[in-house]
Structure 1
Amino acid sequence: MRLTVVGNPANRRVALFTRAVRAAALPTPDVLPWADVLTGAAPPPAADALVRVDSPGEDPLVDRLLRRSPTAARHGELIGLADAYAGLVAGLDRVAAGGAELLNRPADVAVLCDKRLCHAVLSAAGVPVPPALPPVGGYAALREAMAATGWRRVFVKPAHGSSAAGVLAVAVGPRGVQADTTVEPTPDGLFNSLRVRRHTDEATIAAIVDRLAPDGLHVERWLPKAGLRDRVVDVRVLVVAGRPTHTVVRAARGPLTNLHLGNARGDLAELRAAAGPAAWSAAMESCERVAACFPGSLHVGVDLMFLAGWRRHAVAEVNAFGDLLPGVLADGRDSYAEQVHALTTGRWRRWRAGVAACAA
């Protein structure tokens, strides 16, 4: 088995996957840099058995090439999200043009990287998801839609964002409007930080939403999450070849639970005990149904929340590149070794064939 990775060569994702491949006594993967793909490099030929497309993130040059911009974004700047998405889709199509078999199908990635499309696919498949508003083009339209539905709390998400960048948890109450977000507005742009801040000035919140709106917004009802001790919790579930394998509990005192924002890893055993066997089993079944919506993808990362009371759950997001879970082991394998194991044992092909048979 010969593997090629499309990724950023210096990125830890590529390094960790390469380590897992070598540990399985397979040939070291070839690496096709995203920068080369986006500047016209030939796609992997069909002779390459399998091609893994990794995240193009965390590289300023690649970001500029995705956005087709002559200038680099400033550190943390939220700019050109729709352009970057279009560049990603075009790059995926170029990678696929050589005819090689991809471990994440471009059509899957295109849906997973558009929160509006992903929500629609999951909803149509019967996966429990938060209710969503019709498209809104700015803050005034957002408030009108919230008033029409009676929703007082929503998550406003950039359609093509990741890692909570640009997300606002908006609440309307007797004292006015507040928004918890990592966004720091400046006179000449919006910047993402690693610190969650609370904006209480409605004009500031409106300006942030209006600046993000041209790149597309996805707005969901803010459902109350279950809590453990003094924190709310949700879980990232990695599903490999249709099977939930690795799980990370994310515990936060606020609405944004991403670990890179200074939140804590919670205790999985404690969470499972609080949910109970029936609720946990139902949640994992939903994760399996999510994966079945994307049968061309070896893995998906599911952000799942148990709702207050623990009896119900909902899928908040699904990540095309959600397998960076350092230090998390299942059956002695990390997230990358698990994927290599699914390939070498044939489990991925068996699962994919089973999904296709069910769809037929």
Structure 2
Amino acid sequence: MSSIAEHSRSHQLSAAEARFAVVGVRDGRRVRLFADAVHAAGLPTPRVLDWADVLRDGAAFSQGETVRIDSPGDDTAVEGALRGMPDATRVEGSARWYARFTEAVAAVAGAAGAAGARLLDDPAELAVLFDKRLCHGVLQAAGVPVPASPTSALPSAGRARAPRGARGPHPVADPVIEPAAAGASAGAPAGAQAETTVPGAALPTGPATDRAPAAPAPTPAGQGPASHPVPIRGWADVRALLSGDGGLRRAFVKLAHGSSASGVLAVEWAGPGRVCARTSVELAPDGRLYNSLRVRRYATENEVATLVDALAPDGLHVERWLPKAAQQGRAADLRIVVVGGRATHAVLRTSRSPMTNLHLGGARGDLAAARAATEAAGVAWADVLGLAERAARCFPGTLCVGVDVLPGSGWRRFAVGEVNAFGDLLPRLTGLPGSGAEGRDTYGAQVATVLREEHHRHVAR
């Protein structure tokens, strides 16, 4: 049982001391839901620093404040400013978004540190979480099973170090949890805090922030999962990975700094000229790319090549497309929220397309049925939750992450697809039995964890 429930015993003490400040979108859903959780705990209304104001004027904090960094995604104007694209429906600009966002987060962290405020989101870890190539590499180096990827890379020595206990290069075959090894997760190496160097402390203004970040530097041999990650400059590079002896054949091609399935292509290769891709990207006649709420199919190599070539300047990550388990004929995966190192919430997502995102037609599935199918296949449900916790341990300075867990066909094999820094937006979802977050949403669980930690610090003093 998680000690989240202990917060009730220390509530009076912690409520008097805890003061939250949130860097987010003032009128956005995320800030509202977090504020509701704070109010429910009997705490003062969180002070909101709107992203638009922070990007323009910087951030200032008070000593003793607890600072939460939230997504800027609810404000299309802010998103447009970060991306350099005033049209919020455009796909392009994610590399510029990453450079400007990580720079702004570094400035927020600097201001919080100078004021003696406590930060709930480590800026170095956010920089890794928002680069799929680096996140994949950190997970693999920590022994977390992930789909095989030729673009996976650990942050270079100047940006971050591998987690403690990282192993050397892994075999080409996808590492997965299987019934025979289901108990092995307990001895998995824990991740260490990343030390990624993000851009300087200045806020994102001026021409320097318009430069897209370079691809991850190759990791020295023996230090990570890929000594020489493959650069993806366009379709020719992706084509080479799909075809030939040992080619991937089926792969996800993702924007390195994308989110919400923006710019994700599920590509299948059956030979020269026999290529198709499913994606929510809409290719306009003028060559511009737009996000769509409809997953469409591009059935010619020329179309797929045009898409990949247009996406490549923002940086691409390629990984093997693992066959997923199904529920009622729909592909299924899990979003597991981990708060303070503990899996507290989980939702099963199902879809008729390769992308299970709810805004793209995905739907919540039957979590109890998924658990039953998993246990019937010989895998303990606790090990599935433990897999998400292992992934979260790679980012110990970040209070809450959403881990996408991919169940393989037959519910016998599991791997981690992604770890999401802002993966807690699951309205009305309450905590898992035995998690200590029963009856609370993801935000309530986070507030309770902070109160518990404040109580423990007070007792230690």
Give the TM-score taking structure 2 as reference length. 0.73
In the other structure, the counterpart of 1:86 is 99
User: Unaligned regions of 5+ residues in structure 2, if any?
Assistant: 1-17, 151-229, 432-437
Q: Secondary structure at the match of 1:340?
A: helix
Q: What secondary structure does 2:379 align onto?
A: helix
Displacement, 1:283? 1.7
- What are the superposed Cα offsets for residues 164-207 of structure 1, whole Å, 9 maximum, x if unpaired? 11100000126711100000011141001010001102111111
1:195 aligns with 2:212: no
Aligned to 2:209: none
**Structure 2 match to 1:58:** 74
Q: CA deviation at 1:61?
A: 2.0
Provide closer, same or farther for how the CA distance between residues 200 and 211 of structure 1 changes in structure 2, counting only shifts above 3 A: same
Aligned partner letter, 2:253: V
Deviation at 1:347, TM superposition (A): 8.5
Tell me whether 1:73 sits opposite 2:98 in the alignment. Answer: no
* Corresponding position of 1:151: 248
Counterpart selection for 1:340 from 433, 440, 447: 447
Deviation at 1:340, TM superposition (A): 0.6
The CA distance in 2 between the partners of 1:322 and 1:347, in whole Å, is 24
Q: Which residue of 2 aligns with 1:137?
A: 233
Q: CA deviation at 1:135?
A: 2.7
Deviation digits for residues 328-360 of structure 1, max 9, x if unmatched?
A: 11111011111111111229979xx9xxxxxxx
- CA deviation after TM superposition for structure 1 residue 64, in Å: 3.0
Letter in 2 for 1:158: L
On the 8 A contact 1:241/1:348 being kept in 2, the answer is no
Q: Does 1:168 align with 2:265?
A: yes
- Is 1:24 the counterpart of 2:41 in the alignment? yes
Residues in 1 aligned to 2:147 and 2:408: alpha-carbon distance in whole angstroms: 11
Q: CA RMSD in A?
A: 1.8
- d(CA) in 1 for partners of 2:302, 2:74: 32
Separation in structure 2 between the aligned mates of residue 234 and residue 349 of structure 1, nearest angstrom? 36
Q: By how many angstroms is 1:75 displaced?
A: 4.0
Farther off after superposition, 135-144 or 213-222 = 135-144
Q: Which residue of 2 aligns with 1:252?
A: 351
Q: 1:182 to 1:348 in 2, by over 3 A?
A: farther
Among 114, 121, 127, the alignment partner of 1:104 is: 121
Query: CA deviation digits over 1:223-278, x for unaligned, max 9?
Result: 10111221110010000001101111001112111111111110000000000073
Distance of 1:275 and 1:283 partners within structure 2: 9
Pick the structure with more strand per residue: 1
Structure 2 counterpart SS, 1:35: helix
- Which position in structure 2 is the counterpart of 1:319? 420
Question: How far has the Cα of 1:44 moved from its partner?
Answer: 2.3
User: Contact 1:342–1:348 (CA<8 Å) still a contact in 2?
Assistant: no
**Counterpart Cα distance in 2 of 1:87 and 1:43:** 19
* Shift in alpha-carbon separation, 1:347–1:243, aligned structure 2, 3 A: farther
From 305, 309, 313, the equivalent of 2:410 is 309
Question: Structure 1: which 5+ runs fail to align?
Answer: 354-360
Q: Which residue of 1 aligns with 2:199?
A: none
1:264 paired to 2:352:
no
Contact 2:252/2:318 (8 A) holds in 1:
yes
Give the conservation status (yes or no) of the 8 Å contact 1:115–1:159.
yes
Partner of 1:358: none
- Once the two structures are aligned, what percentage of the paired residues are identical? 53
Query: Higher relative contact order by CA 8 Å / sep ≥ 6: 1 or 2?
Result: 2
Q: What's the CA shift for 1:48? A: 3.9
Q: Structure 1: how far apart are the matches of 2:26 and 2:409?
A: 42
Structure 1: distance between partners of 2:382 and 2:324 = 18
Cα distance change of structure 1 residues 279 and 213 upon mapping to structure 2, 3 Å threshold = farther
Secondary structure of 2:345's partner? strand
Equivalent residue pairs, number? 347
* Aligned AA (2:317): H
Bigger radius of gyration, 1 or 2? 2
